[in-house]
Structure 1
Amino acid sequence: MVGITREDRDSLRFLWVKDLNTEPVEFEKLRFTRVVFGVTSSPFLLNITIDTHIRKLQEMEPVFVDKFLRSMYVDDLTVSLSNVDSAYEFYEKSKQGLSEAGFKLRKFMTNSRQLHERLSIEDIGDMGRDHKVLGVLWNPGRDVLIFDMRSIIEETEKTMPTKRGIVGIATRFFDPLGMLSPNIICFKILFQILCEAKISWDGELPEELFVHWTRLLKSLREFKPIEIPCSQGNGANILSCSLHGFCNASLKAYAAIIYLVVRTEVGHLTKLLCSKTRVAPIKSITIHQLELLSALLLSRLVNTVTLALSSELMLRKLFITQTRR
C-alpha cells in the first residue's frame, strides 16, 4: 500500500461511529494513512510511485526499465519476450525492483509451460483456465485471446427495444482491439437513426426500426466466440515485418483496419491486429469527405500500433485507401 504524508492526511478525514449502542450516537474523526481506492488521484499516485521506484534501476538496467514502464498499465504488467530465459530474468528483476518499495508482484501467468514450472508456486495462477488481460479474456495454455458475447446476447434478449436499451447494449461491448467492430457499429448506427428520428429515450420503436432491431438480434444469436492467436510468428525465426493498413467509408460509417504481415523462414503469416470504426456524422457530408475521415482514422491507428510495436519489431508500412472518382 502507498502511504500518505502526514500533512496531507487531513484531506482524507472521515467520521467513525464510536459505539452504536450509545445515545446519542458519538462520532470521532479519523484519517486515512494510505492511498484510498476510488479517490480521483489514486491511479496517478500508484503510477508515479511505481515509476519512481523502477527508475532507480535506470542506470544499471536501462533496457529492463524501459520495457517495464512501456508494459505497465495501472497495476497490470503485460510483457512479451522472445525466450524462456529472458522472460525468467524479467520476472526476477521485476519482483526484486518493486519488493524494495514494499510491492509484491503476484498472479504471474505465461503461455510457456517451461517458464510456468520455473516460477514460484505462490506467484502463479492456473494455466488451464481463462484469465483477463486488461479486460480481455486470454487462455495461456492455448495462447489465444477470446471474445465471447454470450452474456451480452442474454442481456440483449431481456432488453426492451428502446433508445435507452439500445445504447445500454452498445456500451456493454468491450473491444479494445476492434475484433467485434462489425457487430458494434450496427448498434451505433441504429442509435444514430433513433436520434435523427427524435425517438424518446423510453418510447416504442416505429415498425421499420423494430424490424432493424430484430435483425440485429438475429445476427447476435448467430455469433460464435472468436479466438485470436497471440503469437505473431508461430515460433519461427522472423525475417521481416510489415504493417498493411486499409480504410474505407460509406454514407453510414467509416473504418480502418491494420494487418501485420510476418515473413519467416517457413513462409508468410498474416495476422489481423486491430480495427477502428466510426459512425458517419449526422451532418450531411460527401463520400469523399468521409473517405478522408477514414484515412485520418487509419493514420491515428497506425501511430498507436507503431508506438506499441516499434521497440519489439522493425516495421515497414503500406497503407491503402479506396476513393471514388
Structure 2
Amino acid sequence: MLIGAGYFFELLCTGQLKPVAGQPIFQETRFGWVVSGPADNVINSGGWAASAVNLSITENTETDLEQSITTFWKLEEYESKSVYTKEEKECESHFDNNINRDESGRFRVRLPFKKNDYKRDTQLKQDYIKCMSEYEALEHMERVDNEIENKDREGKYYIPHHAVRNDSSTTTKLRVVFDALIAEDRRDFQHVLWRPEPTQPIHVYRLNTLTYGTVPASYLATACLENLANTECDSCPEVGELIIRDFYMDDYLGGAMSKAGAIQLRDDLISIMSKAGLELRKWLSNDPELIVNVHSDNNNIRGRGQCPDSQAKILSEIATIFDPLGLFGPVIIIAKIIMQKLWQIKVNWDDVLPDNICAEWQRYRDGLPSLNNLRIPRKIISNKIVVITEIHGFVDASEKAYGACLYLRTTGVHKNIDVKLICAKSNVAPLKIVSLPRLELCAALLLSRLRNKLIPKLNLKINRRRFWTDSKVVLAWITSPSGRWKTFVAHRVCEIQELAACSEWSHVPTHDNAADV
C-alpha cells in the first residue's frame, strides 16, 4: 500500500510504544499498529544497517468465548457417510492386526506409524534430496557436525521436517516444511518428566496406557469399543449393535421400549464393558429408578444471580444452554435473537449494555428455571400395537427466525392415533434482509437435512412420510426443476429434491402448521 507523504501525520494516533532503546517502535495509526525502526543483525554487503517497517491489519484471534459462541450458533451440517482414505484404511488394518487383551480383559493396542513415503517413493526421495541440497548450496543451512559432541543441549531444539507436494504447480512441486510436530509411537515414545517438588530430582516416566492428546487416541478408543461389541456380545448381539451405534467417544446415549428393557440394557452394558476393565459412570436418566444402584450425576437448569452487565457475560451464559434435540426450540430461539441484537449494536466485550437489552435478557433468564418443571416423555413409540407409522415434518419462518420440527404419528389396530415430537431445529434470520419466501425455503432445507439425518436412526419401518409448508411459493419451487430458479433458490431446491421426494411435500394452512409458534 502506497500513501502520499502529505497524509502521513493525519494517519498517526496518540498510541506509541518503545519497548527497548535503539529497537523498533510501535506506532498506532488509523489503520492499526505499525512497527518501524532498525532490525539487529541485518547488514547488507555495503555495511548499511537495515530498517523494517510493517503494517499488520488483522482481526483478533478467536477467544475461548468466541469459540463457544461459534459452536452454539453454528447450524449443524448433516454430511453423508465418510469415505475412508487409503491411509485411514491402513490404520484400521493395523489396529485389527495388533489388538489383543491381557489376562484382566483390558485392551492392549499399538500406536500406528505413518508410512515413510521417503523410502517408498523414489521420486519423492530424489526431489527431497535436491531441495535440501539447494538449501545447503544457497547457505540457507550449514553443517555443524562438531556440535553434536557438545553435551550441553540447552538452547537447542531439533525440528522435524517433511515434504509437501503440489503436482499442479508449474514451478516448485515439492517443498520441505519444518514444523514442531513430534511423532508419537509406542510406549518408549510416550515419556514424561515429573517431580512432585521443585527441590526433588526430575524423574522420567513411561506411559503404559493410551494417552489422549495423541493423534490416534480417539480412533483407538472407538475401535476398541467396536471390537468389544463384536467379541463379547454373542449372547446378546442387539447390545453389541447398540454399543457400536450409540457410543460417541466415551459417552453412551440410548434407551429402551420399557422400563424393564432399560434396566436389562443397563445391566448388559455394565457387564460387557467390565470385561474390558471399562467402568460406566456419570449415569443420567429421566427415570430415577433406573439409576438407583449406580453412580449418577444430576443435570438441572439452574437460575443465576443478577443480570450481567456486559456482552461477554451474557454470551457466556447463552453458550452454556444445551438442547441438542431442539425440544426447547421456542425458548432457545429467543436467546439467539438476543445474541444477534448484541452483535448489531457493536459493543466491546466488557462494555455496559443498553438498559433495554439488559432488561430483555433479565426477563428471559428469570424464566429459565421454570423449564425444570417441564416433563417431556422421551418414549415416542405407542405402547399399543402399531399398524401404521408415519413421519410428519413442518416448517415455518418469520422476519426474525425460521425453523422445522419432526413428529412421529402412529396408528393402532383400533384406529387410535398417537403423535410425539421427535426433534426440532431453529435459526435466526440473517441480518441482511431476505424475503419471507426465501426464509421459508431455508426452513424447508433445514427440515430436509434433519429428516435425512434422524429418520434412519429411529430404526423403525416408516409407512409414510409427509412434509408440510404453509408457503405456496416454496411448494412451487420444490415441486419444479431447480434449473428454473435463480442461484439462491436453485441451490437449495436442488438439495431438498436430493434428500426427499417432491411428492412428499404438501401445503398446510397456517393455523394448522405445527411449526408456527
Q: After superposition, what is the alpha-carbon deviation per residue over 1:243-279, rounded to whole angstroms, capped at 9, x for unaligned?
A: 1111111121111111111222451111111111111
Aligned position for 1:201: 349
Structure 2 residue matching 1:26: 3-state secondary structure:
coil
Structure 2 residue matching 1:14: 3-state secondary structure:
strand
Residue pairs, 1:27-106, within 5 angstroms: 27-37=202-212, 41-56=216-231, 65-82=240-257, 98=273, 101-103=276-278
Paired with 1:66 and 1:222, the residues of 2 have a C-alpha distance of 38
Aligned position for 2:482: none
> Structure 1 residues 99-108 or 249-258, which shifts more?
99-108
- The verdict on how the C-alpha distance between 1:238 and 1:129 changes in structure 2, with shifts beyond 3 A counting, is farther
Aligned position for 1:165: 313
1:303 counterpart = 2:452? yes
Structure 2 residue matching 1:228: 3-state secondary structure:
coil
Residue pairs, 1:127-276, within 5 angstroms: 148-149=300-301, 151=302, 153-154=303-304, 157-220=305-368, 223-265=371-413, 267-276=416-425
- The verdict on how the C-alpha distance between 1:29 and 1:261 changes in structure 2, with shifts beyond 3 A counting, is same
Aligned position for 2:99: none
Q: How far off is 1:112 after superposition?
A: 9.6
Amino acid at match of 2:292: D
Q: After superposition, what is the alpha-carbon deviation per residue over 1:156-199, rounded to whole angstroms, capped at 9, x for unaligned?
A: x3341321122111111111111122222111111111212212
1:13 counterpart = 2:191? yes
Paired with 1:298 and 1:60, the residues of 2 have a C-alpha distance of 39
Aligned position for 2:430: 281
Amino acid at match of 1:194: L
Equivalent residues of 1:242, 1:260 under 8 A apart: yes
Amino acid at match of 1:126: V
Q: After superposition, what is the alpha-carbon deviation per residue over 1:204-233, rounded to whole angstroms, capped at 9, x for unaligned?
A: 222443343344245436555211112234
Equivalent residues of 1:55, 1:65 under 8 A apart: yes
Amino acid at match of 2:447: L
Amino acid at match of 2:193: L
- The verdict on how the C-alpha distance between 1:284 and 1:236 changes in structure 2, with shifts beyond 3 A counting, is same
- The verdict on how the C-alpha distance between 1:54 and 1:283 changes in structure 2, with shifts beyond 3 A counting, is same
Paired with 1:21 and 1:174, the residues of 2 have a C-alpha distance of 42
Paired with 2:198 and 2:318, the residues of 1 have a C-alpha distance of 49
Amino acid at match of 1:14: V
- The verdict on how the C-alpha distance between 1:21 and 1:97 changes in structure 2, with shifts beyond 3 A counting, is closer
Structure 1 residue matching 2:332: 3-state secondary structure:
helix
Percent sequence identity is 27
Paired with 1:9 and 1:89, the residues of 2 have a C-alpha distance of 39
Paired with 1:62 and 1:243, the residues of 2 have a C-alpha distance of 28
Equivalent residues of 2:281, 2:295 under 8 A apart: no
If the length of structure 2 is used for normalisation, what is the TM-score?
A: 0.49
Paired with 1:301 and 1:270, the residues of 2 have a C-alpha distance of 18
Q: How far off is 1:296 after superposition?
A: 0.8
Q: How far off is 1:63 after superposition?
A: 5.2
Q: Which has the larger radius of gyration?
A: 2
- The verdict on how the C-alpha distance between 1:283 and 1:84 changes in structure 2, with shifts beyond 3 A counting, is closer
Q: After superposition, what is the alpha-carbon deviation per residue over 1:68-96, rounded to whole angstroms, capped at 9, x for unaligned?
A: 31222323444444578877876676566
| Structure number with higher relative contact order (C-alpha < 8 Å, ≥ 6 residues apart) | 1
If the length of structure 1 is used for normalisation, what is the TM-score?
A: 0.74
Paired with 1:250 and 1:54, the residues of 2 have a C-alpha distance of 47
- The verdict on how the C-alpha distance between 1:2 and 1:203 changes in structure 2, with shifts beyond 3 A counting, is farther
Q: Which runs of 5+ in 1 are unaligned?
A: 117-123, 138-147
- The verdict on how the C-alpha distance between 1:111 and 1:180 changes in structure 2, with shifts beyond 3 A counting, is closer
